[in-house]
Amino acid sequence: MSMVAITVTIASYTTAIREMNTFFMGDILVVSKSQIVIQALPISGGNLIETIENDVKGTPGVKATVPLLFLFGTELRSALEVVPINITVGISPGNWTVLTGSTPLRSGGNWPSTNTVDEIIVGCCLADVYDITVNSTIKIKGHDLTVRGILETRSAILGRTIIIPLKTAQEIYHYPMTVSMIVVKPEEGVDVKEVADRIEGKLNDPIERIMALTSDERNSIIDPLLDEVNMWNLGISGVLFVTSVTIVTLVAMINVSERRRDFATLDALGASFTSKVLIVITEIGFIGLLGSLIGIFLGAIATVTIVSIYTNIPIQMLFPDIFTMISPLLLTKTVGCMVTASCVAGLIPAIVAARTSIADILRAEY
Amino acid sequence: MIVKTIELTRTYRRSSSNIVAVNKVNIEVKETTFVSVIGPSGSGKTTLLNLIGLNDHPTSGKILFMGKDVSHLTDGERRKLRLQNIGFIFQTFNLLPTLTALENVELPMALAGLKPKAQKERATKLLESVGLVHRLSHKPKELSAGEMQRVAIARALANDPEMIIADEPTGELDSKTAKETIALLFDINRKEKTTVIVATHDEKIVDVADTIYTIQDGKLRLES
């Protein structure tokens, strides 16, 4: 159970991080040199002056630019938090889809008008947690903002995002003329890396102040981290696997030693060595099957609970996704793995059982 | 002669000393006879029956079973002989607790590869013959000691053996049930023409036996 829970939880972390990679795919992200970028999110570090967008826009190969201001919820409860409780993104109206892609709005909602200053979009997780409805008004730092739409998404990031017009976000959060990054859409057919190099060459002269990151570069930043997480996951799985095999072996040994008389009787009746081994292996394999099914069921509940706690996604939203998080393939693999491990673990007890002789038992009794 | 032993010896190593449980025993058991081996506890009765029943290997000497020297057979060959030719009855019944009376009787037939339907039919018939047709689906813990021993007798007869070896079959039974069990074994011996070898110190068994041996400190002696 713990094996499933832990490995799946870690897997969900890496999935959440990988999910970020789906944002701004193929685009160039221009960020401050001191900015820490995890996939598509500028996590912390310096911001950029908004006017830099004009310099970027004038670079050959650049089709369009969209400045964004990211503000992360400050109430982080734990270092293990996969994503913050909420993310506020300031984006110029009309460019919403740069961030949201094809994510639909909950029924009754609309995209805000292009010249709006007080209309916002809220992710479904936040809406559900705080009972926010379409056309309701919420107060952020003393400003009344109208919720025009609620993003209907299972994305852990978009689900807790508040999308605000850029100017309004700068004003509310006191970041005048400041952006966290500029999303650069390159022209079709151009070499994205070349465009990124051009932007860096242009803006880093004479002082190095920005990074222009392509998708590949963002991946290469995060890959070592993901590899390490996966390595830990593998290590934990390995330790738990060995532990479970040891426990199964011990339990099977106890079981067999308590039933020595039965195996001795089978010996006297003429049961073959193989049939006695198969009896024990089948029993242990069946226990392994039951154990793994129960483990997966409880592990899935544990996983959903853990993920819900860490990501702040309401638990009821995660339950329908249980088969996405714990895929049928993972289920099959886990059950197969546990049954095989149980059978292997039962081999020594099975041999011990098969070697039990009625003569030894009777001699010990009389 | 169904069983003949020549200078049969079995020693065990216990701590630093050798214990001679069966000492140069010569025994001859004719087909269809009822043989009783009597002796006090620790005299070597069980060891002798284990050797004759091919459950144990002799240290030295020979065992001839149905005219064939079986002293040096492999475990697999001995197992096959046991399965097809020898039925066992134990003092403590040795029924498998998780199986019903019917399943316990079916077990040797299943091991011998009999078809399930045939197993069930024969097992039912055997349990009927020992008066337990009403206990087919009962597990051992739901049966009395006498009933358990009767299930064990039915199980011993499952593969229609040439010989039944019973080790203290009445040791755990009250005198009335013991008497019924002896009568049942005697009946099987006479009607089925199955050789019965019983280790006991129950005088009622001695009374019905064709041949009586006594054993003391591993030495066997023909009494009558």
Residue B182 Cα, gap to closest chain A Cα (Å): 22
Alpha carbon of B181 to those of B130, B142, B206: distances in Å?
Answer: 9, 19, 13
Angle at Cα A334 formed by Cα A330 and Cα A336, nearest 5°? Answer: 115
Give chain A positions within 8 Å (CB) of B169.
Answer: none
Nearest by CB to A362, from B50, B80, B97: name it: B50
Give chain B positions within 8 Å (CB) of A265.
Answer: 90, 94-96
Q: Domain B30-41+75-222, CATH 3.40.50.300 — does that match?
A: yes
Nearest by CB to B41, from A357, A359, A366: name it: A366
Confidence class of residue A364 from pLDDT cuts 50, 70 and 90? confident
Mean pLDDT confidence for A120-147? 89
A interface residues, B as partner, C-beta within 8 Å: 261-262, 264-273, 275, 357-359, 362-363, 365-366
CA B90/CA B88 separation, integer angstroms: 6
Give chain A positions within 8 Å (CB) of B84.
Answer: 270
Mean pLDDT confidence for A69-87? 60
Of B38, B8, B13, B36, the closest CA to residue B23 belongs to B8
CA A316/CA A308 separation, integer angstroms: 9
Residue B220 Cα, gap to closest chain A Cα (Å): 18
Mean pLDDT confidence for A61-90? 72
B112 and A270: CB-CB below 8 Å?
A: yes
Of A168, A154, A165, the closest CA to residue A125 belongs to A154
A268 and B46: CB-CB below 8 Å?
A: no
Question: B interface mutation test: which of A261, A361, A362, A365 has the most B CBs within 10 A?
Answer: A362
Give chain A positions within 8 Å (CB) of B95.
Answer: 265
Give chain B positions within 8 Å (CB) of A271.
Answer: 79, 111
Residue B61 Cα, gap to closest chain A Cα (Å): 18
B55 and A261: CB-CB below 8 Å?
A: no
Mean pLDDT confidence for A149-163? 86
A270 and B83: CB-CB below 8 Å?
A: yes
Dihedral sign for Cα B80, B86, B90, B94, please.
positive
pLDDT at A76 over 50: no
pLDDT at A82 over 50: no
pLDDT at A78 over 60: no
Instruction: Name beta bridge partners: A122.
Output: A150, A162
**Burial track A222-237 (b if 16+ CB lie within 10 A, e otherwise):** beeebeeeeeebeeeb
Nearest by CB to A362, from B12, B46, B97: name it: B46
Give chain A positions within 8 Å (CB) of B41.
Answer: 366
Give chain A positions within 8 Å (CB) of B55.
Answer: 267-268, 357-359
Q: What integer pLDDT is reported at residue A297 of this predicted model?
A: 79
Q: What integer pLDDT is reported at residue A120 of this predicted model?
A: 93
Q: What integer pLDDT is reported at residue A244 of this predicted model?
A: 82
Amino acid (one-letter) located at A333: K
A272 and B111: CB-CB below 8 Å?
A: yes
| Each residue's pLDDT expressed in tens, for chain B with a length of 224 residues | 899 999 999 998 877 788 899 999 999 999 999 999 998 888 899 999 999 999 999 999 999 999 999 998 998 899 999 999 999 999 889 999 999 999 999 999 999 999 999 999 999 999 999 999 999 999 999 999 999 999 999 999 999 999 999 998 988 888 888 888 888 999 999 998 999 999 988 777 778 889 999 999 999 998 87
As a whole-number percent, the residues of chain A with pLDDT over 70 amount to 86
Q: What integer pLDDT is reported at residue B198 of this predicted model?
A: 93
What ipTM does the predicted assembly reach? Answer: 0.90
**Mean predicted lDDT score pLDDT of chain A:** 83
Mean pLDDT confidence for A283-296? 86
The answer, as to whether pTM is greater than 0.80, is no
- The percent of chain A in helix, strand and coil, each rounded to the nearest 5, is 55, 20, 30
Of B112, B105, B126, the closest CA to residue B79 belongs to B112
Question: Do A35 and A45 meet the contact criterion of CB atoms below 8 Å apart?
Answer: yes
A262 and B56: CB-CB below 8 Å?
A: no
B55 and A359: CB-CB below 8 Å?
A: yes
Nearest by CB to A269, from B42, B76, B107: name it: B107
Nearest by CB to B96, from A262, A357, A365: name it: A262
Q: Higher-confidence residue: A249 or A86?
A: A249
Which residue shows structure tokens 């149905």? B66
Give chain B positions within 8 Å (CB) of A275.
Answer: 111
Question: Do A124 and A152 meet the contact criterion of CB atoms below 8 Å apart?
Answer: yes
Determine the length of chain B. Answer: 224
B interface residues, A as partner, C-beta within 8 Å: 12, 41-42, 46-47, 50, 53, 55-56, 75-76, 79-80, 82-84, 88, 90, 92, 94-97, 107-108, 111-112, 155, 167
Of A268, A341, A166, the closest CA to residue B158 belongs to A268
Provide the token pair at A241.
């696997």
pLDDT at A166 over 80: yes
In B, minimum Cα distance to A362 occurs at: B46
Provide the token pair at B105.
């009787």
pLDDT at A212 over 70: yes
B83 and A269: CB-CB below 8 Å?
A: yes
φ, ψ of residue A62 to 5 degrees: the values are -90, 125
Among the listed ranges A169-183, A247-261, A351-365, which one has the minimum average pLDDT value? A351-365
pLDDT at A182 over 50: yes
Give chain B positions within 8 Å (CB) of A255.
Answer: none
